[in-house]
Amino acid sequence: MGMHRRNWRSYIRASEEKPRLSWGLVRRVLAYGNPYRWRIIGSLLSILFYTAVALLSPLILRHLIDVAIPEEDINQLILAAAGLLVLPIISGIFQVITRRLVAQVGEGVIFDLRVSLYEHLQKMSLRFFTHTQLGELISRMNNDVVGAQTAISRTLVTLVTNFIEVLSILVVMVTLEWRLTLMGIIILPLFILAARRLGRVFRDIARRQMEMNARMNATMNETLNIGGALLVKLFGRRETEVARFSRRASEVKFLGVQRATLGIIFMVIVQLLTAVGTALVYGAGGYLVILNLFTLGTIVAFGDYLSRLYGSFQGLINAPVEFATSMVSFERVFEVLDLPVGISEREDTIPLKKVQGRIEFDQLSFKYPDTHDGLLSDVDRPYLTEKVGSILSEEVAPAKDHPSTFSSQAREYALQDITFTANPGDLVALVGPSGAGKTTLTYLIPRLYDPTHGAIRLDGHDLRDLQMDDLAAAIGMVTQETYLFHDTIRTNLLYANPGASEQDLINASKAANIHQFISELPDGYHTIVGERGYRLSGGEKQRLALARVLLKDPRIMILDEATSHLDSESEALIQEALERLYTNRTSIVIAHRLSTILSANLILVMDKGRIIERGTHKDLLNQGGLYAHLYQTQFNQ
């Protein structure tokens, strides 16, 4: 009961919103029909043909009743009966043609919207994906796009069809008997009143229904993927997640019931008004027949036209309601398309011909945006108290001479005053406590984020002046958590270089010490790795990631070489592969191995977003600072 009261309150709030149906929005919607205008014109011509054919049936029926039967003319009777049979066939052919053309328009619009959405989402910054539920995006690309298709493929065509039919039927009815026509259309304003009153309510319920569907989809996507399912089981949150899904499904159910109920109420009102008009016309028409002022065939034909008129007029007044409802889908789709990209490419970018690999950080500072601009919606977890942005509430503490490895890393700026240079071929190791900003620093190099202050230069060029594709081609990155597609090993490796030959694939796998393992599998390189590679061990996935980036052969390598979850054999294989990986490349490595820091040209020790120590392994040990402490507690085991 309490759930229903809460849904009613949210529904009332939604119904108080004024529809945002503007001419600018309509023009933008109609623009998606422009590529298919000839098909739309063809469908409209087809509509004209079958509408004209359909209008002949009542006239033939009148002739049959008033002439053929009373005069006992067999020839006219046969012709009239044949006409009543042939006309539906002709009308049906044109309806099939119309339906095919309309379907081509509708499916084309779906295709265009989905591709536009997907293309735009591929341009969004990493921040957008870390703050947006995947289920919400999938809902926009599926449910909302299909809803938007209705406005183009069905609603507009229906609107034009019914408009043509209403005008044509009225002309014929006035020709038959203008007084009965006037009597039949006197109730039409009541149709309009009912549609206007219920139209806004339908639209608001549709918006709420789409929002609730998106949230329900987000819940399913979070908890039914392999990672989410594993987390739920490990923490015993099955009942909690079922309850959360049940709440959202209940909201969808309640709004569905509301929409269906209002729909049937509207239909009942329309049927009642239709009955009133029909009763008036048949009553008055019957009286005229009794007075011999009207033929029986004419009243039968008139009644047929009247039922067609009401049906077409009902469709005519429903079309704006359906169009306004489908506008909700367009609004939600356009909301995504209108989101700022975040990391954009300048128009006057500099093409990067040959990469040397010199990386310069120049007084760089960075903090994660603390606003909701450019985002869709927050994650809703009512049973948790989340304070995702709490890190923004504390000031940056000054670095101490001997800070604790486990000191708080809370601060406003994730990185502050970062300055260093990695020359071509250098190996730069990043060390420091968890949360010190090492991963954030590596994310700035491929422009997953842009600096708040300062700059990063590649071969003397600010990264913001370079083309994104050139930057992506120059940089290879292996993250701590290896992501693999649910596909074959071969497909996952070729993702780095689709044009690579079979020998290139084998050479990269051998260099990453994974070729022998793959060869021993029953399906070899055609083995399916499973969802996110869960069929492979941690070491196997990491070596596949190394083989993948070796196949790309980038000039700059960024690597989080975490091996805490690997056995000694896997770690030895990976360490040998890494030695080949670093050769002749500029490498920025979040170091977890003693061998890496010993061979590094430069070690940067980070704490609270700052570089507090720098130098070689020997120099830093002599300083006796944080690095010496980390070396004793973590590396020298």
How is the beta sheet containing 461-462 ordered, strand by strand?
A: 415-422, 359-366, 453-458, 461-462
Q: For the whole prediction, is pTM greater than 0.75?
A: no
pLDDT over 70 (residue 405): no
The CATH architecture of the domain made up of 28-337 is Up-down Bundle (1.20)
Bridge pairing between strands 586-590 and 427-431:
parallel
DSSP state of 293: S
CATH superfamily of 359-370+393-481+555-635: P-loop containing nucleotide triphosphate hydrolases (3.40.50.300)
DSSP 85-131: HHHHHHHHHHHHHHHHHHHHHHHHHHHHHHHHHHHHHHHS-HHHHHH
Rounded average pLDDT over 108-124: 83
pLDDT of residue 364: 92
How high does pLDDT run on average in the chain?
A: 78
Residue 393 pLDDT class (50, 70, 90 cuts): very low
Is-contact 525 496, C-beta < 8 A?
Answer: no
pLDDT over 70 (residue 477): yes
| CA nearest to 7, candidates 213, 202, 258, 178 | 258
pLDDT over 70 (residue 30): yes
Rounded average pLDDT over 59-65: 82
pLDDT of residue 400: 37
| CA nearest to 147, candidates 192, 202, 97 | 202
Percentage above 90 pLDDT, the chain: 8
User: In the chain, where does the domain assigned CATH 3.40.50.300 lie?
Assistant: 359-370+393-481+555-635
Rounded average pLDDT over 218-232: 71
pLDDT of residue 253: 85
Residue 394 pLDDT class (50, 70, 90 cuts): very low
- Least reliable range by pLDDT among 64-78, 386-400, 601-615: 386-400
pLDDT of residue 390: 32
pLDDT over 80 (residue 573): no
Encoded amino acid at 306, one letter: L
Residue 402 pLDDT class (50, 70, 90 cuts): very low
Give the list of residues 6+ apart from residue 261 with CB closer than 8 angstroms, or none.
Answer: none
Is the model more confident about 423 or about 119?
Answer: 423
Residue 419 pLDDT class (50, 70, 90 cuts): very high
Rounded average pLDDT over 229-248: 76
Rounded average pLDDT over 168-181: 83
pLDDT over 90 (residue 605): yes
User: In the chain, where does the domain assigned CATH 1.20.1560.10 lie?
Assistant: 28-337
pLDDT of residue 637: 56
DSSP state of 269: H
Beta bridge partners of 488: 528
Residues in the chain, overall count = 637
Residue 404 pLDDT class (50, 70, 90 cuts): very low
pLDDT over 80 (residue 440): yes
pLDDT of residue 421: 93
